[in-house]
Structure 1
Amino acid sequence: MVAIINTGHSLRGIFNYNEKKVRSGQAECIGQGNYPADIEKMGPEMKLRRLTKQAELNQNVTRNSVHISLNFDTSETHISKEKLMAIADTYMEGIGFAKQPYLVYQHHDSGHPHIHIVSVKIGPDGKRIDMQNIGRNQSETARKEIEKSFGLVVAGDHHDRERYELSPIDSAVVKYGTRDTKRALSAVLRQVLPHYQYGSLAELNAVLNLYNVSATQGSEDSRIFRHNGIVYQVNGEDKKPVGVAVKASSFFMKPTMKYLARRFEEGRVSRTVHSKRIKNALDVQLLTPGTTNFPKMVASLKALGITVVERRNASGLLYGITYVDHTSKCVFNGSALGKKYSAKAIVQRCGEEAEMTGNRTLSRATAHGSKSTTPEGEKLKNQKESVPVAATIGPRIPPADLKILDALIDPEYDSEYLPRELKGRKKKKKKRGGMDGN
């Protein structure tokens, strides 16, 4: 079983999403928790009113809705409604939502069995329920206990989880239809926006682009930019937006610039503790023999769950790097990690300065406009100019050993050290009972 938790601003929107599935025959409301009547005796208005009444106990909480999906293995089509309800009740108790009102919907519109749970994050006492890290803590514990007690297929390993992970949007399928485009965009936004930690629109786009989605405010003179709006589009094969642009306000989760500004602020703080994982991974790869090569380093990081997003201009010049850590769900621009993790520094540490100039080299002779008398002389001169000075003195030292040598001879600075010249003279203490006057 795989559990996915989302929160949102619109309780009515989440409720209507599931009820619309019911009306179209793609879902069924199979039960409830903490409602005054059985599900068969309640209409849509009564279902929604119970949720909104509790949400109104604390109107200061803007993201008051909770939308959970519990996904089962494709072989588990035999699970009865009674068992699904028992699983839902056990799960809600496991994450601390046993006393919350909730509705359970069984969906039939996917290749695997799954249920959706709609609830609120405002308690009966009007206090906001803290959901920080609930996915990796309470939810994981509840999931494992349910798999064991209900005899479900274990989905704890990476192979099983891949079935429920996002895949890039096929632009050829959705770019011609507004409805399909919006549905595809919404699926990506629900999984990326609330769960990844990012500090800017560029960092957010580094993640969205992996799924062929982009968020844009348009040019500075556009109406969208002037009104601080934002739209989402599907990217084509050339990584440029195609098809219909969908306004943020038209999605039920309302991923507007106001929402993103808050996420940027939260992300800059919450992601800090995870920066060390990326730094350590980079440092280890750059010190490992055989991987001090930019393409190999990128491949090695990908195996660790870290995607390196390269930014190049039209001529192929690499001018920026963004790191997307899918394990900690954190995104860092290279400069945000520190100068030594920027694009220029990383490529230089890999010993591939030519990568920064689109695999083009420029000799000093060419730069200063000097001419060689013969092609052979020009070739020899360029070869001499392109060899680093350090490499012409003594035996050649491998790049990995040079890095270790640098670490050994790098001086340490003591913040408490002062040169002798800057130290004040100590005053001599007078000795009591001296010879003067006695």
Structure 2
Amino acid sequence: MVAVIKTSRSINSILNYNENKVKEGVAECISAVNYPLELKKLSFTQKLNRFLKLSSLNENAKRNSVHISLNFDPSENHSKEKLIEIADTYMEKIGFGKQPYLVYQHHDAGHPHLHVVTNNIQRDGKRIDLHLIGVKKSEPARKEIEELFGLVKAEGRKQKENFSLNPTDVGRVQYGKAESRKAINSVLNKVLFDYKYSNLPELNAVLNLYNVHADRGTEESRVFKNNGLLYKILDQNSKPIGVPIKASEFYSRPTLKFLEGKFKSNDAEKRAYKKHVKNAIKLAFFREDIFSPEKLSKILEQESIHMILRKSNEGQLYGLTYIDHKTKCVFNGSSLGKEFSAKGIQENCALTILVLEKKYQNSISTASENLQDPELREYVKENLVDILLRGEKVLDYVSKQFKQKKKKRFFKGI
């Protein structure tokens, strides 16, 4: 189970979002806790007024509304009764057991999930502290509930499996309508809160895997000048298709301002995971003879690291992005260090080519010695393009004495 907690200043917008889902037939309100009337007898106004009355007791609270989503593995199919019990247990464990809250079961995604609407103003007007509630209360509660109800555990499961992405099926999207927004929204809910990215290109590196792109527009555009952001669906050729949708039109409001806050927090959080990617790259070069970034990319896939090669229209490699699906971190190559940038990787590939040439032609020194040769490294920098171009024919430099001799077969006549 995965729990996501969001806070807001407007309980009205949160409640409207869930009630509109009910009207569309893709959600159902399955529980109303700490309300004076039964769920069937509650009108929209009565649901809203219960929250507004509590909010009025503390007008100094800037964020008094809480929206929680509880997400389950696609393989799980729980009854309404069990889902209500899970929601009640979770709310009790995070300190909201005495608060009024509404539980909605949504059916608009590829996995079962609940939305819980509540507020954090108590009957005495005191505010329930939301600072670090995810770390201090939600995470321990989630783990306990997974054990208590026998749920699929969020931690560790994906690392043991081969990671695979399911891009948005753009062929089924009706562009410009709610279906487009729904398709993009399901991707945003997964990527924005699961992955750690430090800038818009890093975020797009992941979104593009799902055929979604976040676009600020050109510098001369009104969108760019107003710090706006558009989300687009991409076709099979990674070209925008359909009608772009403003960030403000999504419930989670993944605007540029929101993303800039994520960039700062993510940058600090993902520093500890740099070593994992760097070690995987170094190990790849140590174990294999890598002549090109493309070959390195295939090797890293085995470690659930997606390596994106950014090339110019002329086909020249100018940048690399690494998406580590195990740690959910995205790194620009240069942020890991010079040797992990596009130029650094190309130089390492060129060194491999030259080392093999020397090894097979002269048999003078070992590969490890050659890799540390300052003159060889300087030669690589000066002749990088030429060396890489002959990389595909590196086996042509292998002298005959090192090529495997074919054994002659002798057949006796009958």
Q: Same fold by TM-score, threshold 0.5 exceeded?
A: yes
Structure-2 change in CA distance of 1:109 and 1:279 (3 Å)? closer
Q: Classify the secondary structure of the residue corresponding to 1:331.
A: strand
Contact 1:100–1:120 (Cα < 8 Å) also in 2: yes
User: For 1:243 and 1:153, how far apart are their aligned partners in 2?
Assistant: 37
Structure 2 portions without partners, runs of 5+: 375-414
Quick check: 1:303 aligned with 2:302? yes
Is residue 395 from structure 1 mapped to residue 342 from structure 2 by the alignment? no
Question: Residue 263 and residue 62 in structure 1: after superposition, are their counterparts in 2 closer, same or farther (change >3 A)?
Answer: farther
Q: Note if contact 1:174-1:184 (Cα within 8 Å) is conserved in structure 2.
A: yes
Amino acid of the residue matched to residue 72 of structure 2? N
Measured in 2, the distance between the counterparts of 1:163 and 1:122 equals 44
One-letter identity of the residue aligned with 2:281: L
Give the 5 Å matches for 1:38-437: 38-51=38-51, 57=58, 65-71=66-72, 74=75, 76=77, 79=79, 81-95=80-94, 97-109=96-108, 113-120=112-119, 125-126=126-127, 128-131=129-132, 134=135, 142-143=141-142, 145-151=144-150, 158=157, 167-174=166-173, 176-289=175-288, 294-351=293-350, 394-395=362-363, 399=367, 402-403=370-371
Task: Give the 3 Å change call, closer, same or farther, for CA 111–281 of structure 1 in structure 2.
Answer: closer
The secondary structure found in structure 2 opposite 1:85 is: helix
SS at match of 1:167: coil
Q: Is the 8 A contact 1:71 1:112 kept in 2?
A: yes
Structure 2 distance, partners of 1:6, 1:352, is 49
Q: Describe the SS at the equivalent of 2:32.
A: strand
Matched residue of 1:194: which SS?
Answer: helix
Alignment RMSD, CA only?
3.9
Contact in 2 for aligned 1:58/1:122 (Cα 8 Å):
no
- Aligned AA for 1:282? I
Give the deviation of 1:184 after TM superposition: 1.0
Number of the residue aligned with 1:24: 24
Task: Return the offset for 1:201.
Answer: 1.4
CA distance in 2, matches of 1:110, 1:163: 22
Question: Distance between the aligned counterparts of 1:75 and 1:294, measured in 2?
Answer: 40
- Structure 1 residues without counterparts, runs of 5 or longer: 355-385, 408-438
The structural deviation recorded for 1:344 is 1.1
Asked if 2 retains the 8 angstrom alpha-carbon contact of 1:58 and 1:128, the reply is no
C-alpha displacement at 1:61, in angstroms?
A: 5.4
CA distance in 2, matches of 1:129, 1:217: 32
Give identity over the alignment, percent: 40
Q: CA distance change for structure 1 residues 110 and 243 in 2, over 3 Å: closer, same or farther? A: closer
Q: What amino acid does structure 2 have at the position aligned with 1:29?
A: C
1:320 to partner: Cα distance? 0.3
CA pair 397-13 structure 1, distance change in 2 beyond 3 A: farther
CA–CA separation in structure 1 for the residues paired with 2:19 and 2:255: 25
Q: Which residue of 2 aligns with 1:411?
A: none
Task: Read off the aligned partner of 2:276 and give its amino acid letter.
Answer: R
Helix, strand or coil at the partner of 2:130? coil
- Cα displacement string for residues 201-229 of structure 1 (whole angstroms, at most 9, x for unaligned residues): 11111111111111112111111112221
Matched residue, 1:432: none
Q: Is the 8 A contact 1:294 1:352 kept in 2?
A: no
Task: Return 88-97 or 57-66, whichever deviates more.
Answer: 57-66
How far 1:234 moved relative to its partner? 0.6
**Alignment partner, residue 360 of structure 1:** none
Paired amino acid for 2:233 = V
Once the two structures are TM-superposed, the CA of residue 305 in structure 1 deviates from its matched residue by 2.6
1:193 aligns to what SS in structure 2? helix
Change beyond 3 A, Cα 1:141–1:300 = farther
Q: Which amino acid in the other structure matches residue 19 of structure 1?
A: E
Secondary structure of residue in 2 paired with 1:187: helix
Inter-CA distance 108–247: structure 2 relative to 1 (3 Å threshold): closer
Which letter does structure 1 place at the counterpart of 2:363? P
Indicate the SS of the match to 2:283. helix
SS at match of 1:328: coil
Tell me by how many angstroms 1:238 deviates: 1.6
1:232 positional shift: 0.9
Structure 1 residue 149 displacement after superposition: 3.5
The Cα shift of 1:143 comes to: 4.6
CA distance in 1, matches of 2:330, 2:365: 35
CA distance in 2, matches of 1:349, 1:104: 55
Greater gyration radius: 1
Q: The residue matched to 1:350 in structure 2 has which SS? A: helix
What amino acid maps onto 2:30 in structure 1?
Answer: I
Distance in 1 (CA, whole Å) between partners of 2:229 and 2:275 is 32
Q: Which runs of 4+ in 1 moved over 6 A?
A: 121-124, 153-157, 159-166, 386-393
| Alpha-carbon shift at residue 69 of structure 1 (Å) | 2.9
Alpha-carbon distance change, 20 to 305 in structure 1, aligned in 2, over 3 angstroms: same
Return the structure number with greater helix share: 2
Distance 1:84 1:26 in 2: 17
The question of whether the paired residues in 2 share the 8 Å contact of 1:34 and 1:99 is answered with yes
Segment drifting more, 143-152 vs 333-342: 143-152
Cα shift at 1:291: 5.8
